[in-house]
Amino acid sequence: MALHPFDPISDAELRLTSKLIKDNTTGPFKPHFVQIDRDDPPKKEMIKYLQAEKKGLPLPRIPRVTHAFYYLDTTLHKALVNVSAAHIITDVALPKGVQGPLLADDLADIEALATSHPACVAEIEKLKLPDHIHVVCDPWMNGVDCKEDRFLIQCYMYLANANHPESNHYSLPLKFSPVFEGLSRKFVRMDYLPAGIDEKTAPTQPWTEFPLVEYHPDLNGESLRELKPLIVEQPEGPGFKVTGQKIEWQGWSFYVVPNVREGFAVYDIHFKGRSVIYRLSLNEMTVPYGDPRAPYHRKQAFDLGDAGFGATGNSLGLGCDCLGVIKYFDNRRTNREGEPVFIPSTVCLHEQDHGLLYKHVNYRTGHAVVARRREFAVQTIATVANYEYAVNLIFDQIGEIKIQVRATGILSTMPIEKGLTVPWGTNVGPMVMAAYHQHMLSFRIDPAVDGYQNTVVYDDVLRMEPNTKLNPYNVGFYTERSYVEKPGYVDQSPFTNRSYKIINENVINPTSKKPVGYKIMMPARQMLMASPESYNNKRAQFATQQMWVTKYRDGELYAAGEFTNQSQTDTGVGLWSKRNENVRNADPVVWATLGFTHIPRPEDFPVMPVEIHEIHVTPFGFFEKNPALDVPQSNNKFNKSVYYDDATSGAKSGAGSCCGKSNL
């Protein structure tokens, strides 16, 4: 089967990309690859392709293009390669100081150095550790607090149980941290970490106490609870159809495509034959810390731009991460040499039940109409060192897409002396503190609500003028709509019930007599706390507001810009939102910042119960009435539920009356 323009990069294309670059490289240095992936086809061309596809017409040829980031010596290059015609389109050296994302293979080398380099060995010896305790390392991007051209890696160091490979990596942070050059592996300096109530640091001393906080079942000392199995079964098979990357389910059709940076993106989303969204994905995330003291002020991971959610994607386990009948998609990344590394099962797809969809009982007759809410989940889970993020796009039967993020994994920790506390962190163990931080995720929504001419609006709910002929009892309220004409952002306004919508002003809903639209529901949130003068703020403008709108341009995909590692400033939404262009009834792109300030609690350690955050993208006047009236009514012949058996505390079957009666 010929490759679809949306299809992910193949092993052959990845190899071809690196081979062409290697063949084209002269001089003493070999390319050191850090990322290779497929680029999106140009939107204008792709729209023509999709329209031809729908009409069964001959398909236009769109060359498949990949990009490669690679180093020659310490200079980062970006190449664009036409892999259909096997030639390099462009290959440019980027300015000094621009760095690429971190490659797992390189980080592994540096991690090893952090406990073997003489400067580190010397420091470790000062600890005078017993045999059962060893030093482990988390290599981090250095972050930014000044102009810096070198690609630096900050190695955070911890103590763990040497006798078990799954001893908690993070419960005993050390107070020194070596910094290496990422490419040459040169030792640069030893940083010292404050562990008191202020910014002062101290020389390394022997450790005598090791109050580790363990989570692994072999080590955590817990007796297991009893849990009875709960099986999700689909005896007639699942209700979704997969053709290549294309999914069809309950009136939806869309393409789910893994990629190394975002985990996956979803393209060409249609519901009941009408277009909704051209492209939807998590596109960036930044996690700045609120501990003001060096070096923590530089702790600001850009987990997608600096690492990549696909590159760090978990290989999901059947029955562990996903329940029921599961389809998996795979991913692949490059290694240093430009060879593909296969990452199986990074995206899982499956149906699930989520309670009631709708119900009404006619109390006069007791007759009920009731349908259950079946959903279709697309999930990926990325492990970025300590943290895990499960990103779900959940489709339902009425045309709604629920964007859901579950943060879990392990808090990033700082050392603290026994007995002390600080106002910018929570003690989560005897000698370990978890600093306050924020998770600021950017979801990029390239809408196509009933077509490609869309407008972003927001509606406020306001009180009517009191004591008028119309409103003599002072109870009236109404909505007022505002239009986003130029790129920029929309202020939050929870107390006017402000809601953001994407509408098509050219398509009027015959029932409501208003333009068709989709609503983007997001609760009001505290945004970036780092002050405007800080690097953290300048590098991540997207995190200062909840709702951004820019005008579509090919290649503008990542909210903080293409190269985030050690970036000096925002080269993304911060710039694009300032352009003086028209975005009304045009091709706008929405960047929704799903943010949450994380004040850690002890319950979040040693491993964090998921914190769940959502954005709902839901029809708003897109349909003339409820589009799920065609969902079959719920009944127990279909659902096969059973009664709890009081006699045995077990289960007993019962036909069960269908669909409840009411008594009023």
Task: Give dist(CA 432, CA 355) in Å, integer.
Answer: 41
Output DSSP code: residue 464.
Answer: P
The backbone torsions φ and ψ at residue 318, rounded to the nearest 5 degrees and listed phi first, read -55, 125
Q: Do strands 432-435 and 413-415 pair parallel, antiparallel, or not at all (unpaired)?
A: antiparallel
The total of other beta-carbon atoms located within 10 Å of residue 63's CB is 15
Q: Is 560 exposed, middle or buried (0-12, 13-18, 19+ CB in 10 A)?
A: buried
Q: Which residues contact 132 (CB under 8 A, 6 or more apart)?
A: 161, 162, 163
Asked if residues 200 and 194 have their Cβ atoms less than 8 Å apart, the reply is yes
> Which tokens sit at 602?
């002890």
Tell me how far CA of residue 606 lies from CA of 239, 371, 429, 511, 617, in angstroms: 39, 41, 9, 54, 34
Our CB check for its own copies shows the closer of 87 and 601 to be: 601
Q: Give the nearest distance from C-beta 81 to its own copies in angstroms.
A: 24
Asked if residues 455 and 432 have their Cβ atoms less than 8 Å apart, the reply is no
Q: Give the nearest distance from C-beta 407 to its own copies in angstroms.
A: 10
Q: Give the nearest distance from C-beta 63 to its own copies in angstroms.
A: 28
Catalytic residue among 49, 387, 535, 552: 387
In single-letter form, the type of residue at position 212 comes to L
Our CB check for its own copies shows the closer of 107 and 549 to be: 107
Our CB check for its own copies shows the closer of 5 and 606 to be: 606
**Residue of 363, 367, 372, 355 whose CA lies nearest to 659:** 367
Our CB check for its own copies shows the closer of 23 and 603 to be: 603
Q: Give the nearest distance from C-beta 390 to its own copies in angstroms.
A: 6
The backbone torsions φ and ψ at residue 269, rounded to the nearest 5 degrees and listed phi first, read -80, 120
SS3 of 505, please? strand
Task: Give dist(CA 470, CA 616) in Å, integer.
Answer: 35
**Residue of 458, 448, 447, 399 whose CA lies nearest to 625:** 399
Catalytic residue among 37, 303, 306, 604: 303
Our CB check for its own copies shows the closer of 271 and 576 to be: 271
**Residue of 596, 594, 560, 600 whose CA lies nearest to 576:** 560
Longest CA–CA separation in the chain, Å: 87
Q: Give the nearest distance from C-beta 657 to its own copies in angstroms.
A: 6
For 165-199, letters b (16+ CB in 10 Å) and e give eebbbbbbbbbbbbbbbbbeeebbeebbbbbeeee
Our CB check for its own copies shows the closer of 91 and 105 to be: 105
SS3 of 530, please? coil
Q: Give the nearest distance from C-beta 246 to its own copies in angstroms.
A: 12
Our CB check for its own copies shows the closer of 327 and 486 to be: 327
Answer yes or no: 303 catalytic. Answer: yes
Q: Give the nearest distance from C-beta 58 to its own copies in angstroms.
A: 28
Asked if residues 283 and 558 have their Cβ atoms less than 8 Å apart, the reply is yes
Our CB check for its own copies shows the closer of 90 and 467 to be: 467
SS3 of 604, please? helix
Q: Give the nearest distance from C-beta 125 to its own copies in angstroms.
A: 23
Our CB check for its own copies shows the closer of 125 and 630 to be: 630
Q: What is the chain's length?
A: 664
Q: Is 559 exposed, middle or buried (0-12, 13-18, 19+ CB in 10 A)?
A: buried
In single-letter form, the type of residue at position 253 comes to S
Answer yes or no: 436 catalytic. Answer: no
Q: Give the nearest distance from C-beta 580 to its own copies in angstroms.
A: 29
In single-letter form, the type of residue at position 273 comes to G
Active site amino acids: 303, 387
